[in-house]
Structure 1
Amino acid sequence: MGVNQSATIIAGLLFITPDLAVRDQAKRAREEFAHALSAYLDLVALKRAADAGPAEALEKAAEVGEGWPFLYLQGTLRRARLEKIPPTLPVYARHGAADAVLALDKPSMLAGAYHLREFKPGDRFDIGPFRADTWLLPHFVPNAGIRLTTPEAVLAYTGDTGPSPKILRLAQSADLLLSEATYIHEVPTADAPYLLTARMAGQYASQAGAASLMLTHLWPGTDPKAAHETAAEAFRDPIYVATSGLVTNVARGSGHAVSRPNDADA
C-alpha cells in the first residue's frame, strides 16, 4: 500500500469518526428524552386528575422533573406563556373519530387544550419531523393504519384491524411493525374480518420485510409468551409484546425495546 493510499484511508477515518460520535450522542439524547417525555406525560395526567387546568398541569409537571429534557420543556412552556402561545396539543384523527370521546365531557373541559386536525384514510401529511401515510383498514368501525417515516426509521402501526392486503404496503420494509394481535391462533368466525391473530401478524411482518415486530391489543388474559412463540413461527426477527411502560427505540434496520422495571403488563 502506497503512502498516498494510506493517507487517503486515514483522512477518511478522521472524516467519519466525528460523524459517528455525533450520531451516537444524538441516539443517546433521543433515548433520554423519550424516557423523560414518558415520565412527563404521566405527571401531566396526575396533575389533571388533581383538577389542574391544561396549562397549569403542563407547567407544574415540567417543574417536577430533573435533567436537560425537563429544562427544555420548562423553557418551551415559559416561552409559550410569555409569547401568549396557547399550549394546545395537536390531535390527529380520522374525520369524526374523536367526536364520541369529546362528547364524554363538557366542551370547556378540553377547549384550548387541543387542536383537532382531521384526515381521511389515504391522506398523506406531515407531523413535525414525520411523514404520515394512512390506509383505510377493516374493523368494526373505520380504522386508519398509519406509517410514520423519517430519514432515520419507519414505524408502521395497523391500529385495530382485520386481514387486508393494504397491511403489506403499510409495513413494507418498516423498521418496526406495531400490529394488532387480539387472538393467538384463530379469530372467531363472526369477528374474523375485523381482527388479527399473532400468527397473522408474524406472517404480515415476514411478507412485508419488516425489521422487527411488536404485538399489541392482545385479548385480556392472553399469554404473551404464547403470542410471541406463535408469531415467531412465521417471523424470526426481533419480536416484542407491548406492555405498560415499554420504551422502544426504533432505528434503521432493527427495533430495540427496553421495559422500565416494575411495570405491569398492558
Structure 2
Amino acid sequence: MRRLTVLGTCGAWPEAGRSASGFLLEYDGFRLVLDLGYATFPRLAAHCPVDRLDAVVITHEHPDHCADLSTLSRARYFAAERGPRLPLYCTPGVLTRVQAMEPTEDLHEVFEAHPLPATHTVGPFHLEALPLPHHVPHAGLRLTAPGLTLAYSGDAGPAPARPQLAADADLFIAGATLQPPSPPDPDHHLLHTTEAATCATRAGARRLLLTHFWPGTDRTRATTDARTHFPGEVLAAEEGMVLPL
C-alpha cells in the first residue's frame, strides 16, 4: 500500500476543526511522518499506532510544523514498552524548540536525531533535503523510492533549488500561504499560489497538492488560480484526505 494521508493543512495556526502542517506517508508497510504541527497528533494516532511509526521528518522549527512532536515524544516516552528510539530527521533548532516544552523528559531517549539539510537513506526512501529560504533554517524534501518520487516544499519561499526538488515528482506538496490579490513575498520567505504552480510546471511534476493555507483562505480560489499556471491535477489539501500513490 502506497498512500499519503493529510493530517493538517493550516499555516501559522489551525482553523476550527483543522490542524497545522502534517502528513503520513506509507510505502509498502513503511510509515513516515512529514511535519507534526499543532493538533496533528490525534489525527496521526487515528491512522497509525504510534509504536508502528518508522521515522519522522521535520522541515523546520516553527511550531505549526513541529509542536506535536512533543505529543509524540510523550506517547512513546510513557508507553508501557518504549521500544527503540525513533529516527528523527530535522533542521537545527527543532529539538531545542520542542525540548523547551519537555523540561523533565529527554527527547534523545525517544528520538535518534539526524541533521537536515542532508542526504539520508530512510527505510525504502532516498531522502534529499535542500535548504530553502524562510525565517529560520528550513529544509525542502525530496523522497524517492522505486516507482515513487514525492517532493515537499514545507513553508519556504521561492528559490532556484525548488524546481530541482520537485523535478519529475509524482506528487509535489507545496505551500500556498499567499493568495491573490496579495503579491508574492518580496523577501522570499513564503510561497505564493502562482509561484507554487509555476514551479510545478517547470519541474515537470505530475500532481500538485496545495497546503499550508493561511486561516481564512478561499481554497477553491487557490486551486483555480493554480490551474492557470499548472496543466496537471491540482488539489487543495484537506484534513483526512488520502491520496493513493
Shared fold (TM-score greater than 0.5)? yes
Q: Does the 8 Å contact 1:86/1:112 carry over to 2?
A: no
Amino acid at match of 1:204: C
Name the counterpart of 1:157.
152
Q: Secondary structure at the match of 1:173?
A: coil
* Equivalent-residue separation in structure 1 for 2:210 and 2:100 (angstroms): 31
Q: Secondary structure at the match of 1:100?
A: helix
The structure number with the bigger radius of gyration is 1
Following TM superposition, by how much is the alpha carbon of 1:206 offset from its aligned partner in structure 2, in angstroms? 0.8
* Equivalent-residue separation in structure 2 for 1:227 and 1:185 (angstroms): 8
Structure 1 residues 27 and 104, CA gap change in structure 2 (3 angstroms): closer
User: Which of these residues, 95, 98, 103, is aligned with residue 101 of structure 1?
Assistant: 98
CA deviation map 1:147-198 (0-9, x unaligned):
0000110000111111111101001100000001101225557664111111
* Equivalent-residue separation in structure 2 for 1:33 and 1:116 (angstroms): 18
Question: Percent identity, aligned pairs only?
Answer: 33
Structure 1 residues 165 and 150, CA gap change in structure 2 (3 angstroms): same
Amino acid at match of 2:201: S
**1:182 paired to 2:190:** no
Following TM superposition, by how much is the alpha carbon of 1:96 offset from its aligned partner in structure 2, in angstroms? 3.1
* Equivalent-residue separation in structure 1 for 2:207 and 2:184 (angstroms): 29
Q: Secondary structure at the match of 2:172?
A: strand
Which sections of structure 2, spanning at least 5 residues, go unmatched?
Answer: 4-25, 32-42, 53-69
Which sections of structure 1, spanning at least 5 residues, go unmatched?
Answer: 1-25, 60-80, 251-266
Greater fraction strand: 2
Alignment of structure 1 residues 5-154 onto 2, 5 Å: 39-41=47-49, 54=76, 57=79, 86-108=83-105, 110-119=107-116, 121=117, 123-154=118-149
Give the number of equivalent residue pairs: 193
Greater fraction helix: 1
Q: Secondary structure at the match of 1:206?
A: helix
Following TM superposition, by how much is the alpha carbon of 1:245 offset from its aligned partner in structure 2, in angstroms? 1.3
Q: Larger relative contact order (C-alpha < 8 A, sep ≥ 6)?
A: 2
* Equivalent-residue separation in structure 1 for 2:159 and 2:223 (angstroms): 21
* Equivalent-residue separation in structure 1 for 2:149 and 2:46 (angstroms): 20
Please give the TM-score of this superposition, normalised by the length of structure 2: 0.67
CA deviation map 1:116-149 (0-9, x unaligned):
2223x2x211111100111111111121101000
**CA RMSD between the two structures:** 3.3
Please give the TM-score of this superposition, normalised by the length of structure 1: 0.63
